[in-house]
Structure 1
Amino acid sequence: MEKDATYTGFRSLVAVGDSFTEGMSDELSDGTYRGWADLLAARLAARTPGFRYANLAVRGKLIGQIVAEQTGPAAAMGADLVTLVGGLNDVLRPRCDLGRVCGLLDEAAERLSAGGGQLVLMRSPGRQGPVLERVRPRMEALFAHLAEVAQRHDAVLVDLFGAPVLSDPRLWGVDRLHLNAEGHRRVAEAVWQALGLPAEEDWRAPLGTSVPVGWVARRTADLRFAGEHLLPWIGRRLTGRSSGDGRAPKRPELLPLEPARAAGEPYRL
C-alpha cells in the first residue's frame, strides 16, 4: 500500500491487561467502557485503512491471570503493536509477592515479544491520596523493574506515573481507582506520542485551578464512594472473588476497526 503523510506504520493493535486497559471508568451512554486503548485504536484506524484491533483486557485480573489467559492468544494474533499493562492489582494487595509479580511480567513480555510486534509497557498512574502513599514503595520497585524489561525487549515504556497531572483527583472516576474520560484521553495521547506520532496536545499540561469543595459535598462523595465501591471491593477480597470473574474480553478477536463519531462520544467503537 502506498503510504501518505497520515500513515502511522501500524496496521494492527492488541491490548492486554486489566481494568485500566479495559477502559474503566470512561463510561459511554449505554453503560459500556471505552478507555485509552479504544481511543488509540480509533486514531490509528483513522490513518490506516483496514486497521485491526483486539482488546483482551478484563477488569480485576492479576498478572498471573493475564499471563495464563491473555498473552498466548495475543501473541498468536501477530499484531504489529501490542500493549501490556498489569501488576497493579497485585501491588494493591497487602500480601503481594513482588518478586513473583516481576517474574510474571518478564514472562508476559517474553511471550508477547515473540509475536513480533512492537511492545508497549507503562508505568501506570496513581491517584493522590493515602492508598497511593501506602503502596508507593512497591509501585516504584515494580516500575524500576519495568524499565529493565523494556530494555531487554526493545519495548516502548510510557511513564504515566511520572506525570503529576495524572495524579490529580479530577482525572479520576468516582471509584477513585480508575481514570475518567479525560484521564483516558490523556493516556491515549501519551502512548500516541511515545510511538513517535505527531503530538496533538500536551497531555502533561496541568489542570486549571480547582474550585474548593465544601465539607458537605466532600462527605457526600465519601459516603457514595464507600457504599458503591469500597465496601463491594472489600467484600470481594474477603470472599476471594474478582470483578472480572466470568467476564469475557470486550473485543476478543483481531478484527478490522472502523471509527465512528457519535455526538458527545468521539471515536465510539
Structure 2
Amino acid sequence: MSATTGYRRYVAVGDSQTEGLGDGDGTAGWRGWADRLAETISEREPGLLYANLAVRGRLAAQVRAEQLAPALALRPDLVTVVAGMNDLMRPGFDAGAVVAELDAMFAAFTATGARVLTFTFPDIGRIAPLARGLRPRVLDLNARIRAAADHRGVVVVDFFPHRVTTDPRMWSADRLHASPLGHAGIAAAAAHALALPGSDDGWAEPLPPLPVAGTRQRAAEEAAWIGTFLGPWLLRRLRGRSSGDGRVAKRPELRPVEASRQVQ
C-alpha cells in the first residue's frame, strides 16, 4: 500500500509567488509551487482538498487582514504562509513589523493544530545585481522568520544558503517571480521539508554551469531588464498602484486537486 501524507485540507496564503506568477498553467492562468505541492500531496492523498487565497502585490499586513480569517474558516490541516518580499522592496521596510504579521498568522494556524510551513528568501542581490543593497534587509528578515517559526513550531524551508535558488534559470525574465523550473524546485523543497513520501533534497543540487556572459552582454541584459520590468514597477509605486489592484484569489474554496498537464 502507498504511504499517505495525513493531509486532507491544504490552504495556501500569500502574494504573487504563492499565486503562481511566472508558471503558466497552459491556459490563461497561473499554476505555481503551491499548486504543484498540492498535486504532489494528492498523489498520496487522492481526496485532498486545496484552496489558494494568495493575491499578487499583497503586503504581509494585507495577507493577514484579507486571508487569515477565510483560511481559518476552511479548517485546514496544512497551511503555507509566505509573505514579506513586497514589503522588503518598499522604502519604509520594517522587518519587525513584517514578522509580527507573519507570527500572528503562525500563531492562529498552529493553535488549530494545523501543520504550517513558511520560507526564508534567497539572496536577491544574486538574482538582480541592482538589488544588492537590499541584502541586509533580507538577512534581517530571514533571521526573524526563523526565530518566529521556531517559537511556533512552524516548518521552515531555508532558501538563502542554497546557490541554486539564485540561478537565473530558476527565475522569470522579470527576476521577481520564479520560472516554471523555479516553482517546481520550490514545491520539491516544500515537499522535502514536510517529509512527504518519495521526497528528497535533490532540489538543492546546483544546475549545470551556464556559459560565462561577457561584459557587453551583461550590460545589455541589465538595460533591457530596467526598461522592461524595473521601470514599470517603479512607476506603479510612484502612482500608488499595485499589480494586485482589483484582483481576487484564484482558488478561494477548497476543491479536489486536478493534476496539471503543464510540461515540467
TM-score > 0.5 by shorter chain: yes
State the SS of the aligned residue for 1:254.
strand
TM-score by length of 1: 0.90
Amino acid at match of 1:231: G
Tell me what 1:189 maps to.
188
Aligned-partner Cα distance in 2 for 1:238–1:161: 30
Aligned-partner Cα distance in 1 for 2:95–2:200: 37
State the SS of the aligned residue for 2:50.
strand
- Note the C-alpha offset of 1:210: 0.7
| Deviates further, 245-254 or 107-116 | 107-116
- Note the C-alpha offset of 1:90: 0.6
| Deviates further, 132-141 or 168-177 | 132-141
Equivalent pairs counted in the alignment come to 261
Aligned-partner Cα distance in 2 for 1:99–1:215: 39
Tell me what 2:133 maps to.
134
- Note the C-alpha offset of 1:224: 3.8
Q: For 1:46-90, what per-residue CA distance to the aligned partner results, in whole angstroms no more than 9, with x for missing partners?
A: 211211001111111001100100111111211110000111111
State the SS of the aligned residue for 1:203.
helix
Which of 47, 68, 73 lines up with 1:71 in the alignment?
68
**In 2 relative to 1, CA 168–113 (structure 1 residues): closer, same or farther, beyond 3 Å?**
same
CA contact (8 A) 1:24 1:179 kept: yes
Structure 2: tracts of 5 or more residues without a match: none
Tell me what 2:232 maps to.
232
Aligned-partner Cα distance in 1 for 2:99–2:115: 20
State the SS of the aligned residue for 2:117.
strand
Amino acid at match of 1:159: D
Tell me what 2:172 maps to.
173
CA contact (8 A) 1:126 1:132 kept: no
State the SS of the aligned residue for 1:141.
helix
| Deviates further, 251-260 or 116-125 | 251-260
- Note the C-alpha offset of 1:188: 0.6
Matches within 5 A, 1:1-269: 4-127=1-124, 128=126, 129-197=128-196, 198-199=198-199, 202-213=202-213, 218-260=218-260, 262=261, 264-265=262-263
Structure 1: tracts of 5 or more residues without a match: none
CA contact (8 A) 1:75 1:114 kept: no
State the SS of the aligned residue for 1:46.
helix
CA contact (8 A) 1:76 1:115 kept: no
- Note the C-alpha offset of 1:131: 4.2
CA RMSD of aligned residues (A): 1.9
Aligned-partner Cα distance in 2 for 1:177–1:41: 23
Amino acid at match of 1:148: A
TM-score by length of 2: 0.91
Aligned-partner Cα distance in 1 for 2:108–2:232: 34
Aligned-partner Cα distance in 1 for 2:201–2:162: 15
- Note the C-alpha offset of 1:115: 3.4
Amino acid at match of 2:238: L
| Deviates further, 76-85 or 203-212 | 203-212
CA contact (8 A) 1:23 1:36 kept: yes
Identity, % of aligned positions: 43
- Note the C-alpha offset of 1:236: 0.9
**In 2 relative to 1, CA 225–195 (structure 1 residues): closer, same or farther, beyond 3 Å?**
same
